[in-house]
């Protein structure tokens, strides 16, 4: 797709589920069901020199067949945006946080095709009153790889610059206000207490289990 007005070029490569594969919305029959997309976009200036480039990956967790008229339909799956009658608690889905876990998270917004990623580690030792969250990620617009540790037991925050090897220790576990559109990872850190510890709040939306088969065309 070429937008001559904005001097943008988009390239989208879709992966579709084969017939007979069971997806969250049922068995794939004669209608092709998208499951994955690789998106590459570039912007050039008036001299046709590339000034910006974006690469993104979309994973489709839910799909309804209909005629698509605009690109607004291709947005990330619904998640933790706002409270409404459709959102549930983790307990209603039968999900509970374990005392120790590690998960890699992809974060994005409906206004951006660029995904941001972070590695979250959770440690909760009830016997010694230890509760810690660690994030490994690269902030937007920054080259340095950071590790942020929130220690709720000692009420301390450790900010480690992994590139140059420095560590800053500060009192408290508060995270500054951020623009959720530009920095969805920072938004998660800012509201981690609501997302992780207060899981009884109705803030979650379940979109089905990801298909584990590798049979794609």
Task: Give domain limits for the chain.
Answer: 2-73, 97-197
pLDDT of residue 193: 85
Identify the residue whose tokens are 């594969």.
Answer: 21
pLDDT of residue 182: 82
| pTM value surpassing 0.75 | no
CA 23, distance to chain mean position in Å, is: 21
- Do the beta carbons of residue 3 and residue 30 sit within 8 Å? no
Cα separation, 122 vs 105, in Å, equals 13
The CA–CA distances, whole Å, from 125 to 26, 122, 128, 131, 153 equal 41, 10, 6, 6, 10
Q: Helix/strand/coil (H, E, C) string of 39-52?
A: EEEEEECCCCCEEE
Cα separation, 78 vs 117, in Å, equals 17
pLDDT tens digits, the chain, 217 residues: what are they?
A: 888 888 888 889 988 888 888 776 677 877 778 888 888 888 888 888 888 887 888 887 766 665 554 544 444 444 444 445 677 888 887 777 888 889 888 887 767 667 888 999 999 887 778 889 999 998 877 778 899 999 998 999 999 998 888 999 999 998 888 888 888 888 889 988 888 887 777 777 776 655 444 443 3
Q: Which residues contact 81 (CB under 8 A, 6 or more apart)?
A: none
pLDDT of residue 120: 93
């Amino acid at each position: 797709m070429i937008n001559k007005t904005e001097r943008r070029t988009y390239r989208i490569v879709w992966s579709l589920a084969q017939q007979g594969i069971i997806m969250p919305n049922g068995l794939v029959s004669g209608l092709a069901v998208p499951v994955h997309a690789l998106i590459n976009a570039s912007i050039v200036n008036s001299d046709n020199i590339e000034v910006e480039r974006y690469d993104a990956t979309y994973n489709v967790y839910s799909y309804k067949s209909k005629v698509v008229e605009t690109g607004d339909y291709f947005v990330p799956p619904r998640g933790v945006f706002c409270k409404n009658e459709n959102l549930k608690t983790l307990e209603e889905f039968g999900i509970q946080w374990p005392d120790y876990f590690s998960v890699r998270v992809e974060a994005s917004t409906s206004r951006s095709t660029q995904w941001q990623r972070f590695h979250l580690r959770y440690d909760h030792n009830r016997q010694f009153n230890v509760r810690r969250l660690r994030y490994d990620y690269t902030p937007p617009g920054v080259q340095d790889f950071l590790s942020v540790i929130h220690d709720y037991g000692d009420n301390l925050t450790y900010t480690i610059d992994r590139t140059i090897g420095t560590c800053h220790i500060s009192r408290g576990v508060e995270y500054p206000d951020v623009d959720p559109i530009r920095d969805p990872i920072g938004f998660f850190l800012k509201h981690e207490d609501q997302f992780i510890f207060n899981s009884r709040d109705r803030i979650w939306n379940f979109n089905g289990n990801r298909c584990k088969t590798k049979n794609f065309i």
